[in-house]
Chains A and B, each alone.
Chain A
Amino acid sequence: MNKDFTHIILADDDVDDRMFFTDAFDELKINTKVKTFKDGVYLMDFLNKHGKPVPHILFLDLNMPRKCGMTCLQELRQDKRFDSIAVAIYSTSAAEEDIENTFVQGANVYIKKPSDFKSLKKILATVVALNWQYHTNSLNRENFLLRI
């Protein structure tokens, strides 16, 4: 595998959202490898069995059948192997309690799914380009929710 690729994983139960997501990265023309899973069980199975290479960024929908995003987040953050993964919460809701809980559980950024394709591309580009080291060090509740 080429080390220049950014490995990206999305776990989302919604087929349309997965399509928007991959389409957006296709159009962005940046060196990424995108993998999608349709719920938390598939995601965790994949990560636990074929853990390498560890993805750089994991986009995690909260509302999924079988295993929800919050559970995945808790399991990931308890496993040292996945310390390097930047977790971006990718959700329709921007409810205060969701933002608060995922922040406490150790997510790195919170993205509210935008409602037009242009904004989606812009947000994804921003997230991929983020200096995670810097962002994580200066992370606080105010900049946790990504605003575009």
Chain B
Amino acid sequence: MTKKQQKKSYILQGMFIASLFLIIFVAGVTYKNYSNLSESARMVSHTYEVKKDLLEVLSSMKDAEIGLRGYIISNDSAFLKLYTQSDLKIDNALSKINLVTRDNVRQQQHLDELSTLINAQKQLLSRIHEIEVKNVDEDSMFIPLFTRSKSQMDTIRSKVHSMTRLEDELLASRKEVYANTINLAPILLYALTLIILLLMYVAYSRMSADNAKLRRYNASLQTNKELTDQAEVINHHGTWTWDVESDDFMFSDNLYRLQGEDPQSFAPTLANFLKFVHPDDVDEFNAAVTEMRSGGDMPFVEYRVVLKNGTIRDFKACAKSYEASDGSTKLLGVTTDVTTQVSNYKQLMDRAHSLELNNKELAAFNHMASHDLQEPLRKIQTFLSRLEEKEAAQLAVNGMYYINRMKSASQRMRMLIDDLLQYSRTNRTEKEYELYDAHMLLEASKYDLADLITQSDLQIIADPLPDMLIIPFQIQQLFTNLINNAIKYRDPGRPARLTITYEKVQGTTAAVDGAAPEDHYHKITFTDNGIGFNQEHAENIFGLFNRLHNKDDYSGTGIGLSICKKIVENHDGFIKATGSLGVGASFVVHIPCELL
């Protein structure tokens, strides 16, 4: 998992935790509101209860007074019953009030005072009752007592009133608190629910986006797997993974096929795999396995396997250790069937070997040509010169003529051998280029040919040549051969002249096929005024042993220009000839300024 993905999953977790806390908070607030609400309802009923009981006390007190008065006036005992019953009622009501207001200090004080007042009234009423029972018909005695009773009742009534008022006040304040709570709660709950919904929505949309991404990854993974399978089949390789700690292997389908088995036809274990390894290669294979087990990466190991049908295939395997995202280390390996490559390589080596042998034979032939072939020829020539010198007088005219023919034939053979040697030398493979003064090489060529140049009266007009990156002895050979060419094929009817011009050109203006447009070339042109040639032979003249003229008229061997072409090609350059019969020939050489 990448860091980015990890971060994303943390955000998602955070959102869910926040939502959870908000829901708990909302539940708490709701619970609190409900308990507030029921508390308020309880307080309201409590207030009403207290008020009812207070009224009960008051009305019972009145009943007692009324009953007593009625009894005194009428002497009817039914009134007395009203008086005696009221006592119990008052006590009941008072004890109820006491129970209900036990947590209210002020009300308890009031209640104590009320009880005192009631007791005083009760005593007063019982004194009146006693007087009546004793039958003291003294109206004057009752009057002050009733007056007192009335005033005491007034006090009691006012006390009950003040208690009632206190309960009303309490109720009002409770109603206010209740209203505040009940108004605020829905807004808060609504807002919180919205936030929770928002969080849930964001989390959901993120999850579904991730999900879509996951599906896409899955699809591309599937495609990649198909591609890998196909590539494995086409390239003859198989892949495998090895969890070193748990010793779990996984082989790809094609790995089974390479070993001539059906995909996943046997359990992928090292032991099963080793069954296929060629007995001679088991040790080497095990050494590689041991190295992997300890060190990790496995370098290329080559081994052979024996298939069930007995065929032997060459395999090549390598593996790299890889740390998976879950922290475990796995070896990822590729095993390739290199049977074709190995046999191709063997074939190539065989060919290289036979080529090497051929080259050695060629070198031996060169030596033979340079030494052994020249030796008898040299002796023939020396004997001829001795014969000519010492025995000429005894020879007839024909004899001298034959000697001269033999001399020219052996001379020609010498030239052929020399030129062939030179040609094979220009074929040498090692190419050692150095920056060399080309003008010096031209001067050296002129010096080599000084005798011939003087004999043929050849006039050479040459531009100065710069330093070039060349194989010096080959370029000197090129100059020599081209000058020699101008000498050999000069026109006897006019003074021979050879013009050598130099120009540095770009590939685009070189006007030769195959020139690289970007590169610069040294362009050297050798123009003579010799016998020239027909333009249709322009290509032929560079062929080995191709001659345009009879060998009796012109002394060429047909190798000189082939050597020129070879040398220019050794320098990745170009040589072209243009000619006009009876006017002259022109050889244009292009040598690259830099190595290609």
| Residues in A lying within 8 Å of B, measured CB to CB | 14, 16-17, 20, 63, 92-93, 95, 113-118, 120
Contacts and interface: CB of A to CB of B under 8 A. Distances in A.
B379 A16 contact: yes
A116 B375 contact: no
A93 B389 contact: no
B382 interface: yes
B371 A93 contact: yes
Nearest to B390: A117
A30 B371 CA distance: 31
13 contacts: A16-B379, A17-B379, A92-B371, A92-B374, A93-B370, A93-B371, A93-B374, A115-B377, A115-B378, A115-B382, A117-B385, A117-B386, A118-B385
Contacts, number: 35
Contact of B378 (A63, A92, A95): A92
B447 to A, nearest CB: 11
Given A116-B381, A118-B385, A95 B370 contact: yes
A92 B379 CA distance: 10
Interface string B354-395: 000000000000000011001101110111111001000000
A117 B382 contact: yes
A20 B384 CA distance: 12
B418 to A, nearest CB: 10
Contacts of B414: 115
Interface in B446-479: none
Given A92-B375, A115-B377, A115-B414, A120 B382 contact: yes
Interface of B: 370-371, 374-375, 377-379, 381-386, 389, 414
A17 B380 CA distance: 11
A interface secondary structure, majority: loop
B386 to A, nearest CB: 5
A130 to B, nearest CB: 22
A109 B475 CA distance: 27
B379 A63 contact: no
A106 to B, nearest CB: 23
Q: Which of A20, A93, A116 has the most CB of B within 10 A?
A: A116
A92 B382 CA distance: 13
Nearest to A116: B385
A113 B383 CA distance: 13
A116 B374 contact: no
B378 A117 contact: no
Contacts of A95: 370
Nearest to B374: A92
Nearest to B387: A117
B371 A63 contact: yes
A115 B381 contact: yes
B454 to A, nearest CB: 16
Contacts of A116: 381-382, 384-385
A112 B488 CA distance: 26
Contacts of A63: 371
